[in-house]
Chain A
Amino acid sequence: MHIKGVDIDHVRIKPPLGGVPWEGVRMARRQRLLLAALAIAAIGMAASAGWADGPAPPTNVVAKDRPWDVGGAVVVSWTSPTTPVESFQILRLMDAAEVKQANRDARVAAASDAAAAVRERLSAEGVAPEDVQLQAREAAQAAAATLLSEQEATAGEPRWTPVAVALGSQTSVVVDRLSDDFPGGYRFQVVAIASDGTRSIPAETTVAVTPSRQPFDGGRLWLAIITVVLCGAVLTFIAAARRGMPLKIRKIAGLAAVDEAVGRATEMGRPVLFIPGTQDMNEIQTLAGITVLSRVGKTAAEYDAQVEVPTSRSLVMTAARETMHAAYLQAGRPDAFNPDLVYYVTDEQFGFVAYLSGMMVREKPAACFYMGAFFAESLILAETGNSVGAIQIAGTAQPAQLPFFVAACDYTLIGEEFFAASAYLSGEPDQLGSLKGQDVGKLIVAGLMVVGCLIATAASITGSEMLEGILSYLKNTMLT
């Protein structure tokens, strides 16, 4: 049934937010006619209460669980009124716990605003900072106290909280950050707002909705696409490399120097020290470090040099032992492998550093490799290694530690170079192909950055709504 654009099957009519609540208005089919009359009366009341000049309310307000999500979101849709509307405000009915928390938050916000306003005003007037702070604090307290008394006066009334705003051209909006087990389900109101700021009567959903979790998270669709594209590029180039596609990799000085460093240690009759970072095997940098260890171990086995691998994690010790054992096996010298040279020291960061520093000073290794995740210990290790005259090669993906390694080491593998080590050292087509695929990923990222910058610049200059929309989609949908 429709009465002047109000579908009473779906809509309840209530006074605007902050007005006197109209209790007991839930629809019952038997009472439609009566309620229709009441609705007309309410519109009349609204007119007298200041809605007379407001736009007509939206109709067919429906809330449904959003498809393809992780839960916690619903889609609220409506039919726009025939009168011009600037925007819509969507409100949600709060439960008692939420009202309590919202009251508290409101007091906190009011206090912050009051303090900030006082601080800004008095600072501009050149008042002493101590007085500014004192007055700001008093203003904050007063604002919180005032609001508390207002809140206590209206306690017990149903409270609607604004949850979203939509443009006048929109007929639906997603409301998220909801709970999947909200008692009784969620109810919403939609208010039409005209260009002069006048508001319509709120139109309310009749059926409560509860969000639920879906089989696939559509919000991660773009991430899935990007993952597939990047992985696809890597796999495509691996396949191409297997078919014989010629692939080149630029010279990486740090990796080219691996053999030189091990050779030097052999000549000098001193050990090689290899440190695979200070993190565990779940850190991909440790894995990359172990990969380099494989090559260092093999070269050392061939040259009959001694490689010492102290670790700060038990699992890394186990993995490094396996790697070294296999490296000696490949070099045809399994008997020369001494598992005791791969050992655990301590998980404690600076205990590990203390051991390594002492060991370096005592044993004076001829070559030091730092390959993995390092933190504050990077410079202590590299400077100690430098002081004993070791040739030093470092590799890490920790941006904060790179400057220290660059300053104190002979060669440093920076970020992605470190991850390219495996491919570079093995020279296998499969691995080189993966590097090429990685380059495609980099091209895509660079392209997106350029496109994003151009769109943002153009949107800023022209103020085009379309460009703003594209930018917003790029930022808020594709890249989140």
Chain B
Amino acid sequence: MIEKLNNLDRRWIFLLMFLAVAVPIYVIGKTGKTFPETPSALAKATFDAIDDLPDGSRILLAFDFDPASEGELGPMATAFVRQCAEKKHKMYFLALWPVGPQLIQANIEKVILPDFPSYEYGRDYVNLGFKSGNEGVIKVIVTDLAQLYPADIKGTPVEKIPMMDGIRNIQAMDLIVNVSAGYPGTKEWVQYAVTPYPDKIRIVAGCTGVQAPLLYPYIPQQLPGLLGAIKGAAEYEKLVNDRYGGPHPDPKYLEGLRRMGPQLVAHILMILLIIAGNTLFFLQRRRGTSR
């Protein structure tokens, strides 16, 4: 029996994981209930960094992720755009990942167009699109934005975009918000934008769970706020919803909180699997010793 369990077909484990994720998704989708979240200090710092700026401040939103990590980073990207729009900040979108512009456009269509109809392209937000060159792009735009971004994603020259008036480089931004799934991402923004200009450039970020430990050394001097994976997104969403959501926020602004349900059950399943694996291991070892 022990031997059989030890060599358990892993598809059973896959099935358990599928149920651990699917059932909470279904239940939360049906009931609309989510687990309560207590925002951490880092989530609060991220929220405050945006909220403490006066209305109409300039925010550079760098979406350096792809559809693969959208499940983990999408909710925080949406929440970032929403908080900036609620604060009437001017949003400058760009991406160092090739598919970043599509994700930027998706968030514009999800948040700005339906919920902030007074927002006008070119006056309140602009999509500068993708530029190849990884950290090389950052090195250039910290001193000269127009060199790499002479036009926006639609091909409109930056001189003809009202909100680009007076923007020589990204030092003119009041804050950089980076959503990052890896390389190039937050680490490169910190190293090549914040470190050379600590008094001019400030950044907060959201990243995948795997990436977060590599960014902790930069907190808090170079990186005052960081959202780690869906947990960070859920905490941040709570802060945004408490401030701007009203009694019944739109479900699209609750994605992070909703995804914490499957995460909870999946984590508990992981713990149970580890305990089961170890129980089998010790039983097998005891049997081996007694023989």
Bound Cα distance from A349 to B181, whole angstroms: 12
Are A130 and B52 also in contact (CB < 8 A) when A349-B68, A375-B182 are?
A: no
Q: Mark B181-217, 1 if CB is under 8 A from A, else 0.
A: 0110000000000000101000000001011011000
Residue contact B214 to A399, C-beta cutoff 8 Å: yes
Note all chain A residues with C-beta closer than 8 A to B55: 141
CB of A470 closer than 8 Å to a CB of B: no
CB of B29 closer than 8 Å to a CB of A: no
Note all chain A residues with C-beta closer than 8 A to B211: 400
Specify which of B57, B69, B172, B214 lies most central, judged by the most chain A CB atoms within 10 Å of its CB.
Answer: B57
CB of A182 closer than 8 Å to a CB of B: no
Note all chain B residues with C-beta closer than 8 A to A101: 172
Bound Cα distance from A387 to B11, whole angstroms: 11
Cβ 8 A contact of B52, one of A140, A349, A350: A140
A182: shortest Cβ distance to chain B, in Å?
Answer: 14
Bound Cα distance from A100 to B68, whole angstroms: 43
Residue contact B214 to A137, C-beta cutoff 8 Å: no
CB of A30 closer than 8 Å to a CB of B: no
Chain B, range 52-86, C-beta contacts under 8 Å to A: 52-55, 57, 66, 68-69
Chain A: interface size category: 20 to 34
B92: shortest Cβ distance to chain A, in Å?
Answer: 16
Residue contact A376 to B51, C-beta cutoff 8 Å: no
Q: Mark A141-175, 1 if CB is under 8 A from B, else 0.
A: 10010000000000000000000000000000000
Residue contact A108 to B214, C-beta cutoff 8 Å: no
Residue contact B199 to A177, C-beta cutoff 8 Å: yes
Specify which of B48, B52, B57, B182 lies most central, judged by the most chain A CB atoms within 10 Å of its CB.
Answer: B52
Residue contact A116 to B48, C-beta cutoff 8 Å: yes
Q: Mark A114-137, 1 if CB is under 8 A from B, else 0.
A: 011001000000000110010011
CB of A111 closer than 8 Å to a CB of B: yes
Residue contact B243 to A133, C-beta cutoff 8 Å: yes
Q: Mark A55-88, 1 if CB is under 8 A from B, else 0.
A: 0000000000000000000000000000000000
**Binding site of B, secondary structure by majority: helix, strand, loop or mixed?**
loop
The count of A-to-B residue pairs whose CB atoms sit within 8 angstroms is 52
Nearest B residue (CB) for A144: B54
Nearest B residue (CB) for A111: B54
Residue contact A133 to B242, C-beta cutoff 8 Å: yes
Cβ 8 A contact of B243, one of A130, A140, A349: A130
Residue contact B68 to A376, C-beta cutoff 8 Å: yes
CB of A318 closer than 8 Å to a CB of B: no
Are A133 and B54 also in contact (CB < 8 A) when A400-B210, A400-B214 are?
A: no
Are A112 and B214 also in contact (CB < 8 A) when A133-B243, A349-B68 are?
A: no
Are A108 and B10 also in contact (CB < 8 A) when A129-B242, A133-B242, A137-B51 are?
A: no
Identify 4 new A-B residue pairs, CB closer than 8 A, beyond the known A101-B172, A376-B182.
A119-B48, A177-B197, A350-B68, A400-B214
Top 4 A-B residue pairs of the complex, sorted by shortest distance between their CB atoms: A111-B54, A112-B52, A144-B54, A115-B52
Q: Name A residues whose Cβ lies closer than 8 Å to a Cβ of B.
A: 100-101, 107-108, 111-112, 115-116, 119, 129-130, 133, 136-137, 140-141, 144, 177, 349-350, 375-376, 387, 399-401
Can you show 19 pairs from A to B with CB atoms below 8 A apart?
A108-B57, A111-B53, A112-B52, A115-B52, A116-B52, A129-B242, A130-B243, A133-B51, A136-B52, A140-B52, A349-B68, A375-B182, A375-B183, A376-B208, A376-B210, A399-B214, A400-B210, A400-B211, A401-B210
